[in-house]
Amino acid sequence: MNYEELIKSAEEVSKCAYAPYSKFPVGACVLAQSGKTYTGCNFENASYGLTICAERNAVGTAIANGERKIRAVAIYSPNMQNCTPCGACRQVLAEFKSDEGLDVITLCNDGIRVHTIDELLPEGFVL
């Protein structure tokens, strides 16, 4: 799968986001080592701190389907070019980094931008 397809899936699922408080919908699509993809959107709560980001929702679905290694994640928000993951999501993504690494793909002005999770979270905590 190429990264444009991942972004398309992230864009599609962002339409399901539940973001009545921030009005900031986000969609994410993870590509697992198996080759399968899993999508997730953010969903907020009246108790704001309980909000779950799109990335963690997508990772959770991948895990619930038996995946343990993630090769890439694409993130899309209609509100923002280049919506990179928050710190908490970077730590969660790093936990499931595949042996080949984990690419973080975002949309930017002139197409797609690709960072590695190691660039976005240097010296992340691992056991």
- Catalytically active residues are 55
32 or 58: whose CB is closer to ligand THU?
Answer: 58
Q: Is 54 in the site for ligand THU (CB under 6 A)?
A: yes
**Nearest alpha carbon to residue 76 among 1, 2, 6, 22:** 6
Name the DSSP letter for residue 47. Answer: S
- Stretch 63-102: interaction string toward ligand THU, x if CB under 6 A: ------------x-------x-xx--x-------------
Q: Which stretches within the chain are classed as H helix? A: 3-14, 54-64, 87-95, 117-120
Q: Which of 9, 30, 39, 55 binds ligand THU (CB under 6 A)?
A: 55
